[in-house]
A and B are shown apart, each in its own frame.
Chain A
C-alpha cells in the first residue's frame, strides 16, 4: 500500500491543469468544460461503437481516458448502453455485418442525440471503401453530425470533434 501511495504522490497530477507537452490541448480543455456545462448542464455520456474499424481509432479513443487527457475530469464519460448516451462515437467503415447492430444502437439512443464519426474510414470509407463487405462511411447508415478525419485521428483531434458536435447542437 505504501508503495502505491508513494507512486501516486510522486507521479503527481499530469492532467491538463499542469503544463503538458501539448500546448494546444491545454488551451482547449477549459473551454470544453464550459461549453458542456453551459449547453447540457450535466455530463456528456458517450456510447462508442466500433462498426468495423481496424482498432486503431479505438486505441486513440482509449487514450482520452489516460491522465493526460483526463476525459472524465472534463465531465465526459463513456457509458455501456446506448440508452444512457447523448452521443454515439462511431468508428468505421461500417462493415455490412455490423450495419444492423449500428442501426439498432442508434435507434436505442434517446433523442436528441449526436453522432460523431471517427477516422478516415468513418468519414469516407477510407482505405476499405465500399464493397461487398463494407457499407463505407458511417453517414451511409445513420445521420452524422461531425466527422473527424485522420488515420487514426489523435486523441486531441477526437476531443475537438466531440466539442464541435456539442457546439453544433445549440444552433
Chain B
C-alpha cells in the first residue's frame, strides 16, 4: 500500500528508514507522481544511475523518484533505454523536480521529456555538454579545460526596472551562489537563483570509496549537517548489508544529531538578530554556540561531530561524568535561551523586521514542496522524528514545532521551539542511553545491493541512496539535501520585499549551497 492505486510490486527495504522500492513503467512513473500529489505526499529526491554494463538485453539506465507517503518512503525506479534516454517530466506535478531533472541531465545525460526549463544547472562549462560524468564510461582525462558558459537569466522589463547581480562570491563569510534581482526602486520584483558553484563531483567521488568508508564523504556533503548525512548514509549502508546497529549506537546517534541541531539553531538565532542590526544577539548566541562546540570537542573529540557515525554504529561514547556535565550544560543553555527569547520578543525593532517579512503561505509551501524547518514554519507538519520515529525517537516522544504564518518571525520561533526541545532530548538521551556495544562488524556487500537512509537533520530531511558494486566498493551513491526543495521558495518569499531584507530572509531559511550543488 505504498502508493494506493498504483499496481506495482513493492519490495520492502530492510533497515531504519521505512522504505520500499518498485520498478515502474513509463506510464506508471507519471501516475505514481500524480497519486502521491493527490494523496498529500512529497517528492523527496530524484536521481539516476547508469546500469548499461549490467543490462542483459538492451542497454539501460535507471531513474529514481523517492516519495514521502503515509507509511514511509516509496521509491519508484524507471528503466530507461539507451536508445532514447529520457523519462516523463515531473515538474508539472512537483515543481521542485525541475532543478533535480536539470542536474540529472548534466551528470547522466538523461532528459525529462516535456520539461519547460532545460538550461544546465550544475554544468557551468567545466565539462562539455556531450560528456556525462556519472556514466560509467566517462573519461575525466578527456575533459577539455574549463570554459565559462553563458546562462540565460529571465529578464524583467518595464519602466524603471533594473537588475542587481550578486555573487557568486558574497559580501560575507558565506557559501557562493549567484542571485539576480530585478527591482524597481527598493522593491524586489523578481529574484532568480543560479547555483551549482560548489559542485565538487561528490556523487562521482563516491565510486572510489568502499561501502564501509563512504560515511566520511557523506559527512562532508554539507558541513553543518555532517551528523545527519553520515547517519543517513549509515542507514543506507546497513540497509543493503542487512546489518542492525546496536541499541547504544542508535541512542548515541540521536545524541549527536540533537547536538548538531542545537549548535546550528544557536548560530542561526544569533545571525538572524545580527541581520536585523541587533549585534547583541550575535555576541550572546555565538558565545553559547562556542561553549556547546567546546563540549562537543571535549566529549566526542570533534567540534562539529564529524566521522562519529559510521556504518554499523558509532566510534565514540560518553561516560557517566560526561553525561552529567552534558545535562547540566543543557540546563544552563536552556535558561539563557529563555532569557534571550524574552529579549527577542520584547524588542520592537527586531519584531518589526521579522514580522510579515519573507512570507511563504502554507498553500504555496504545499504547492512547491517546502520541507524541513522552513516547511514547519509554513504549516507543513512533517518531522521524521515524529512521523516515523526510529530508535530512540519512539521512546523520546519528540514534540513537533510549527507555525502557519510563514514569515521570518515564524522561522525564528520554530528555531526557538526546536532548540529547547533538542536541549530536552540531549538530557533525556544522556540519562537513558543503554549500555552495550558501539558498533557491529560489517559483512562484504553483495554487488547491486540497494539501500536508502532518511534522517531529519536540523535543516530538513537528509536522504541517501546507495548501491554496492564489486569488491566492497560503492557503485552509486546519491546524497540529497533538503535545500533542493527549499531554494526555489526563497525566490517567492522575497517578492515584494525590499532589497535590504533579502539577507534576513535568506538567513531565516539558511539553506545549504554545498549540499545542493554537491
Are A57 and B343 in touch, CB under 8 angstroms? Answer: no
Chain B residues lying within 8 Å of A80, measured Cβ to Cβ, are 171-172
Interface 1/0 per residue, A1-34 and B, CB below 8 Å: 0011001100100100000011000000000000
Are B514 and A134 in touch, CB under 8 angstroms? Answer: no
Are B283 and A66 in touch, CB under 8 angstroms? Answer: yes
Q: Is A154 an interface residue, CB under 8 A from the partner? A: yes
Listed residue (B169, B200, B297) with the most chain A CB atoms within 10 angstroms of its CB: B200
Q: Is B238 an interface residue, CB under 8 A from the partner? A: no
Residue from A59, A78, A93, A154 within 8 A of B223 (CB atoms): A59
Are B172 and A54 in touch, CB under 8 angstroms? Answer: no
Are B293 and A63 in touch, CB under 8 angstroms? Answer: yes
Chain A residues lying within 8 Å of B223, measured Cβ to Cβ, are 53-59, 152
Known contacts A56-B223, A128-B202, A133 near B293 by CB under 8 Å: no
Residue from A54, A60, A63, A129 within 8 A of B286 (CB atoms): A63
* Interface hits, A56-77 → B, CB 8 Å: 56-63, 65-68
Task: Give the interface segment out of B1-9, B214-222, B248-256.
Answer: B214-222
B281 to chain A, nearest CB (A): 10
Q: Is B119 an interface residue, CB under 8 A from the partner? A: no
Chain A residues lying within 8 Å of B171, measured Cβ to Cβ, are 80-81
Are A132 and B133 in touch, CB under 8 angstroms? Answer: yes
Known contacts A4-B343, A66-B289, A95 near B198 by CB under 8 Å: yes
Residue from B216, B303, B517 within 8 A of A60 (CB atoms): B303
A35 to chain B, nearest CB (A): 23
Q: Which residue of B lies closest to A69 (CB)?
A: B290
Interface 1/0 per residue, B132-176 and A, CB below 8 Å: 010000101001001010000000000000000000110111111
Listed residue (A49, A55, A81, A127) with the most chain B CB atoms within 10 angstroms of its CB: A55
Chain B residues lying within 8 Å of A151, measured Cβ to Cβ, are 220, 306
* Interface hits, A94-138 → B, CB 8 Å: 95-101, 105, 127-129, 131-134
B124 to chain A, nearest CB (A): 4
Q: Is A86 an interface residue, CB under 8 A from the partner? A: no
Interface 1/0 per residue, B187-222 and A, CB below 8 Å: 000000000111111101100000000001100111
Are B290 and A95 in touch, CB under 8 angstroms? Answer: no
Known contacts A56-B304, A62-B267, A128 near B284 by CB under 8 Å: no
Instruction: Give A12 to B340 CA distance when docked, in angstroms.
Output: 16
A86 to chain B, nearest CB (A): 16
Are A55 and B200 in touch, CB under 8 angstroms? Answer: no
Q: Which residue of A lies closest to B133 (CB)?
A: A132
Known contacts A55-B512, A96-B146, A105-B169, A7 near B343 by CB under 8 Å: yes
Q: Is B287 an interface residue, CB under 8 A from the partner? A: yes
Chain B residues lying within 8 Å of A4, measured Cβ to Cβ, are 280, 343
Are A133 and B133 in touch, CB under 8 angstroms? Answer: yes
Instruction: Give A83 to B289 CA distance when docked, in angstroms.
Output: 32
Are B199 and A129 in touch, CB under 8 angstroms? Answer: no
Are B176 and A128 in touch, CB under 8 angstroms? Answer: no
Instruction: Give A81 to B166 CA distance when docked, in angstroms.
Output: 12
Interface residues on A, range: 35 or more
Known contacts A54-B223, A58-B174, A128-B202, A66 near B126 by CB under 8 Å: no
Are A101 and B169 in touch, CB under 8 angstroms? Answer: yes
Chain B residues lying within 8 Å of A65, measured Cβ to Cβ, are 282, 286
Q: Is A161 an interface residue, CB under 8 A from the partner? A: no
Q: Is B418 an interface residue, CB under 8 A from the partner? A: no
Instruction: Give A99 to B297 CA distance when docked, in angstroms.
Output: 34
Chain B residues lying within 8 Å of A100, measured Cβ to Cβ, are 146, 148
Are A127 and B220 in touch, CB under 8 angstroms? Answer: yes
Known contacts A59-B267, A99-B146, A78 near B199 by CB under 8 Å: no
Residue from B200, B201, B224 within 8 A of A59 (CB atoms): B224
Q: Is B342 an interface residue, CB under 8 A from the partner? A: yes
Instruction: Give A126 to B204 CA distance when docked, in angstroms.
Output: 15
Instruction: Give A80 to B174 CA distance when docked, in angstroms.
Output: 11
Instruction: Give A100 to B147 CA distance when docked, in angstroms.
Output: 9
Listed residue (A3, A51, A59) with the most chain B CB atoms within 10 angstroms of its CB: A59
Chain B residues lying within 8 Å of A48, measured Cβ to Cβ, are 172-173
Instruction: Give A99 to B303 CA distance when docked, in angstroms.
Output: 29
Are B168 and A61 in touch, CB under 8 angstroms? Answer: no
Are B204 and A97 in touch, CB under 8 angstroms? Answer: no
Are B304 and A128 in touch, CB under 8 angstroms? Answer: no
Residue from B138, B143, B199, B222 within 8 A of A97 (CB atoms): B199
Chain A residues lying within 8 Å of B502, measured Cβ to Cβ, are none
Q: Is B378 an interface residue, CB under 8 A from the partner? A: no
Are A11 and B169 in touch, CB under 8 angstroms? Answer: no
Residue from A68, A95, A154 within 8 A of B287 (CB atoms): A68
A130 to chain B, nearest CB (A): 9
Instruction: Give A134 to B197 CA distance when docked, in angstroms.
Output: 11
Known contacts A48-B173, A154-B303, A7 near B284 by CB under 8 Å: yes
Known contacts A59-B267, A132-B127, A54 near B221 by CB under 8 Å: yes
Chain B residues lying within 8 Å of A66, measured Cβ to Cβ, are 283, 286-287, 289-290
B132 to chain A, nearest CB (A): 10
Interface 1/0 per residue, B295-309 and A, CB below 8 Å: 001000001101000
Question: B residues bordering A, Cβ < 8 Å?
Answer: 122, 124, 126-127, 133, 138, 140, 143, 146, 148, 168-169, 171-176, 196-202, 204-205, 216-217, 220-224, 226, 267, 280, 282-284, 286-287, 289-290, 293-294, 297, 303-304, 306, 339-340, 342-343, 346, 512-514, 517
**Beyond A4-B343, A98-B198, A132-B126: 9 further Cβ-contacts under 8 Å?**
A55-B175, A58-B173, A58-B175, A58-B223, A65-B282, A98-B197, A133-B201, A152-B304, A154-B297
